[in-house]
C-alpha cells in the first residue's frame, strides 16, 4: 500500500515538473530583433557605395527557414549582383543563450542624396509567421565630404566706380553641397589689403551680412552698398572676404576669397592748337598742339598722330609719342607743315590722340583742328606779321651793297684825278 502511495506521489510530482517546463514555452514563438551593427564608410558620401551589416537576434524560440530581405528606396539601391532576399535558415532558440546572425549588403547612394540620416526598410519571414514582418527606423548616415559654399560670381554697378561715388556690390553664393547649409556669415575686409588700404566704406549697413540658410544646389545673393573715397586713385582694388557657415550636423566651416572692385572715371581730354607760325596759304610753318588731361585718371602711353590731307603737306614726322599725362596736367606736340594754296579761310587737320587710362582701357579721340588762314593785309592788321619786315631788310641790304660799291667807284675816280 505504501509503495502505491509513493508511486502516485512521484508521478504527480514528475507531472508537475514536466508541466512547469512545458508551460514555459506554451504560446511562445520566435522573437527576431533587427539592427544595424556596422556601416562602412560611416557616413557615406552621395554617389558612393556603402556596406551595411544587419544583426538579427532571436529572443524567442527557434525560427526555421528565415528569409531576410532589404527593400531599398531612394536614395539607396542595390549594387549590381546583390540580391535583395537572402536565406538564413534556422536561428536557434534562446534556451542556450541569445543567438544572432550577421547579414551584409552593399548599397549604392544616389548622387543627389541629401546629407542626413536616411531610412532603409527591411523585412523578414519564417515558417513560424503567416506574412512578412517589416522593420522600420533603421538609418544610414549620408554626408558630403565637404559642405562647400562658393562665390558663383560678383558684380558691381556701375562696373567702374568713380572716385567719390556709390556702387552696389552683389555677391552670388552657391551651395554645392547636397544638404542645407545654414548660418552663413559673409564679411568684407575693407581695411588694409596687403600694402594698401582699400578706399571703400559701407553705406546703410556694416561690412557684414548674414543669411539664415541656402538650400542644396541653390544660390542666394548678398548686396553691399559701397562709397569710394573722393581721392581714390584709379586702379583695381582687391577686397578680402571671409565666409563662415554650418552644415546640417552643426559642423562649422570657414573660407576666404578675394574680390576685385575697379575705381576709375571716363577721361576728360581737351585738344587744341596752342600756337602756330603759319598764317597764309602757300607758306610753311610750325603748329604746336596742346593736350590737356582735365579728368581724374591719369593718361598713359599717349600717342598723337596728324592725319594726312591734300590741303597740306606734313614736313615733320606725322606721329609724336608723348607718354604719360597726369591728371590736371598737359603736354604738347609739334608739327611742321606746308599749307597748299587755297582761298579757304581755314584748313582742317584731323588729329588722332590714342592712350590708355589708369586701368589700361584703350581710348582714341579724333579731333578736327582748325588752322585759320589770312591774307597778308589781314595778317598785318591782326599783328600776326610785323609790317614788311622781310622786304625792308632786303632793301636795306641792297642799299648797303650799292653804297659800298658806289663809295669804291668814287674813291677810285678821286685817286686818278
Spatial neighbors of 133 by CB under 8 A, at least 6 apart, are 32, 123, 124, 125
Q: CA-to-CA distance for 301 and 362, rounded, in angstroms?
A: 10
CA distance 113 to 57: 31
Instruction: Name the most confidently modeled range: 4-18, 77-91, 403-417.
Output: 77-91
The residue whose grid cell reads 578675394 is 258
Predicted confidence (pLDDT) at residue 225 exceeds the cutoff of 60: yes
Give the pLDDT confidence score for residue 216 in this predicted structure.
Answer: 85
**C-alpha cell read off for 309:** 590731307
The per-residue pLDDT for range 8-31, each reduced to its tens digit, is: 444 444 444 434 333 343 446 788
> What is the Cβ-side half-sphere exposure of residue 330, based on CA atoms within 13 angstroms?
14
* Domain annotation for the chain: domains and CATH numbers: 32-142 (2.60.40.10), 149-263 (2.60.40.10), 269-381 (2.60.40.10)
Summarize the confidence of residues 65-90 as an average pLDDT.
93
The answer to whether 85 touches 67, Cβ cutoff 8 Å, is yes
| Bridge partners of residue 261, in order along the sequence | 237
Tell me: pLDDT of 171 over 50: yes
Report how far residue 253's alpha carbon sits from residue 173's, in angstroms, rounded to the nearest whole number. Answer: 15
Report yes or no: 73 and 121 within 8 Å, Cβ to Cβ. Answer: yes
For the question of whether the overall pTM of this predicted structure is more than 0.85, the answer is: no
Residue 13: its pLDDT value, please? 45
Please state, as a whole number, how many other Cβ atoms lie within 10 Å of the Cβ of residue 49.
13
- Name the pairing type of β-strands 346-356 and 362-372: antiparallel
Average pLDDT over residues 371-386: 78
Contact criterion met (CB below 8 Å) for 24 and 126? no
CA-based Rg of the chain, rounded to a whole angstrom? 50
Q: Which three cell numbers stand for residue 331?
A: 603736354
The 3-state DSSP class for residue 400 equals helix
Q: Judge whether residue 87 has pLDDT over 60.
A: yes
pLDDT value at 410 more than 80:
no
Section 310-336 average pLDDT: 94
**Cα separations (Å) of 118 from 38, 209, 258, 343, 365?**
15, 33, 37, 95, 67
pLDDT at residue 74, as a whole number: 93
Query: Regarding predicted confidence, which is higher, 263 or 9?
Result: 263
C-alpha cell at 327: 591728371
Cell of 359: 586701368
Candidates 133, 242, 117; CA nearest to 189 is 242
Residue 332 CA neighbour count, 13 Å, CB half: 11
**Among candidates 57, 254, 220, which has minimal Cα distance to 146?**
254
pLDDT surpassing 70 at residue 350? yes
* Spatial separation of the C-alpha atoms in residues 219 and 102, rounded to whole Å: 44
Q: What is the pLDDT of residue 27?
A: 43
The Cα–Cα gap between 199 and 224 comes to 15
The residues near 228 (Cβ < 8 Å, ≥ 6 apart) are 161, 162, 163, 164, 165, 166, 167, 199, 200, 263
Nearest 10 degrees: Cα torsion 195, 198, 199, 200: -170
**Sole residue written with cell 604746336:** 288
- Longest Cα–Cα distance of the chain, Å, equals 217
Q: Can you read off the three cell numbers belonging to residue 349?
A: 587737320
Q: Which three cell numbers stand for residue 225?
A: 552698398
d(CA 94, CA 97): 5
CA distance 227 to 162: 9
The dihedral over CA atoms of 319, 322, 323, 325, expressed in degrees to the nearest 10, equals -130
The predicted structure's pLDDT at residue 372: 92
Amino acid at each position: 500500500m505504501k509503495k502505491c502511495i509513493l508511486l502516485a506521489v512521484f508521478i504527480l510530482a514528475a507531472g508537475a515538473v514536466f508541466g512547469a517546463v512545458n508551460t514555459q514555452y506554451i504560446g511562445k514563438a520566435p522573437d527576431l530583433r533587427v539592427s544595424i551593427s556596422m556601416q562602412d564608410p560611416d557616413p557615406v558620401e552621395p554617389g558612393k557605395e556603402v556596406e551595411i551589416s544587419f544583426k538579427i537576434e532571436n529572443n524567442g524560440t527557434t525560427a526555421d527557414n528565415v528569409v531576410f530581405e532589404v527593400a531599398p528606396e531612394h536614395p539607396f539601391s542595390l549594387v549590381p549582383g546583390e540580391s535583395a532576399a537572402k536565406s538564413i535558415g534556422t536561428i536557434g532558440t534562446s534556451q542556450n543563450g541569445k543567438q544572432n546572425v550577421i547579414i551584409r549588403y552593399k548599397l549604392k547612394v544616389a548622387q543627389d542624396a541629401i546629407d542626413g540620416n536616411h531610412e532603409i526598410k527591411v523585412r523578414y519571414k519564417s515558417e513560424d509567421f503567416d506574412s512578412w514582418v517589416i522593420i522600420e527606423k533603421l538609418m544610414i548616415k549620408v554626408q558630403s565630404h565637404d559642405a562647400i559654399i562658393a562665390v558663383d560670381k560678383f558684380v558691381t554697378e556701375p562696373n567702374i566706380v568713380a572716385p567719390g561715388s556709390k556702387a552696389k556690390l552683389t555677391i552670388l553664393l552657391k551651395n554645392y553641397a547636397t544638404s542645407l547649409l545654414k548660418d552663413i556669415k559673409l564679411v568684407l575686409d575693407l581695411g588694409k589689403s596687403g600694402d594698401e588700404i582699400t578706399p571703400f566704406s559701407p553705406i546703410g549697413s556694416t561690412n557684414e551680412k548674414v543669411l539664415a540658410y541656402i538650400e542644396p544646389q541653390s544660390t542666394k545673393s548678398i548686396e553691399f552698398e559701397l562709397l569710394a573715397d573722393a581721392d581714390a586713385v584709379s586702379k583695381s582694388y582687391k577686397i578680402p572676404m571671409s565666409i563662415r557657415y554650418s552644415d546640417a550636423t552643426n559642423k562649422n566651416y570657414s573660407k576666404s576669397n578675394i574680390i576685385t572692385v575697379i575705381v576709375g572715371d571716363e577721361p576728360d581730354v581737351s585738344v587744341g592748337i596752342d600756337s602756330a607760325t603759319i598764317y597764309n596759304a602757300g607758306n610753311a610753318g610750325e603748329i604746336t598742339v596742346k593736350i590737356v588731361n582735365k579728368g581724374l585718371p591719369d593718361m598713359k602711353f599717349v600717342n598723337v598722330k596728324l592725319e594726312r590731307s591734300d590741303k597740306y603737306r606734313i614736313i615733320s614726322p606725322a606721329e609724336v609719342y608723348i607718354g604719360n599725362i597726369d591728371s590736371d596736367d598737359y603736354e604738347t606736340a609739334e608739327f611742321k607743315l606746308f599749307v597748299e594754296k587755297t582761298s579757304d579761310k581755314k584748313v582742317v587737320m584731323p588729329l588722332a590722340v590714342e592712350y590708355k587710362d589708369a586701368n589700361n582701357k584703350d581710348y582714341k579721340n579724333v579731333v578736327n583742328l582748325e588752322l585759320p588762314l589770312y591774307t597778308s593785309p589781314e595778317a598785318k592788321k591782326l599783328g600776326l606779321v610785323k609790317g614788311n619786315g622781310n622786304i625792308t631788310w632786303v632793301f636795306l641790304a641792297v642799299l648797303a651793297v650799292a653804297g659800298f660799291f658806289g663809295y669804291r667807284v668814287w674813291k677810285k675816280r678821286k685817286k686818278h684825278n
